[in-house]
Amino acid sequence: MPFINTSGFLPKRYLVTGGAGFIGSHLCDRLLAEGHEVLCVDNFYTGTRRNIEHLLGERRFELLRHDVTFPLYVECDAIFNMACPASPIHYQFDPVQTTKTSVIGAINMLGLAKRLRVPVLQASTSEVYGDPAVHPQTESYWGNVNPIGPRSCYDEGKRCAETLFFDYHRQHAVGIKVVRIFNTYGPRMHPEDGRVVSNFIVQALLGQEITLYGDGSQTRSFCFVDDLVDGLMAMIRTDASVTGPINLGNPVEFTIRELAGLVVELTGSRSAITYRPLPQDDPKQRRPDIAEARSRLGWEPQVPLREGLARTIAYFDDLLSASRTGAAR
pTM of this structure? 0.92
Alpha-helical segments (H) within the chain: 22-33, 49-52, 88-93, 95-116, 152-172, 196-205, 225-236, 256-267, 291-292, 305-328
Q: What local confidence, expressed as pLDDT, does residue 156 receive?
A: 95
How far apart are alpha carbons 142 and 149 in whole angstroms? Answer: 18
Domain regions of the chain by residue span: 13-188+224-250+283-302
Cβ neighbours around 135 below 10 Å, total: 15
Q: What local confidence, expressed as pLDDT, does residue 66 receive?
A: 97
- Three-class SS of residue 70? coil
Which residue type occupies 36? Answer: H
How far apart are alpha carbons 209 and 274 in whole angstroms? Answer: 6
How far apart are alpha carbons 23 and 229 in whole angstroms? Answer: 8
Tell me the mean pLDDT per 10 residues along the chain, length 329.
49 96 98 97 93 96 97 97 81 86 97 98 95 92 92 92 98 98 95 88 94 88 97 97 97 94 94 85 84 98 97 96 63
N-to-C CA span, the chain: 32
Burial 105-120 (b: 16+ CB within 10 A, else e): bbbbbbbbbbebebbb
Q: What local confidence, expressed as pLDDT, does residue 281 receive?
A: 66
Burial 249-283 (b: 16+ CB within 10 A, else e): bbbebbebbebbbbbbebbebebeeeeeeeeebeb
CATH classification of 13-188+224-250+283-302 is 3.30.70.920, yes or no? no
Catalytic residue among 14, 129, 154, 185: 154
Q: What local confidence, expressed as pLDDT, does residue 160 receive?
A: 97
Q: What local confidence, expressed as pLDDT, does residue 329 receive?
A: 43
Q: Is 185 a catalytic residue?
A: no
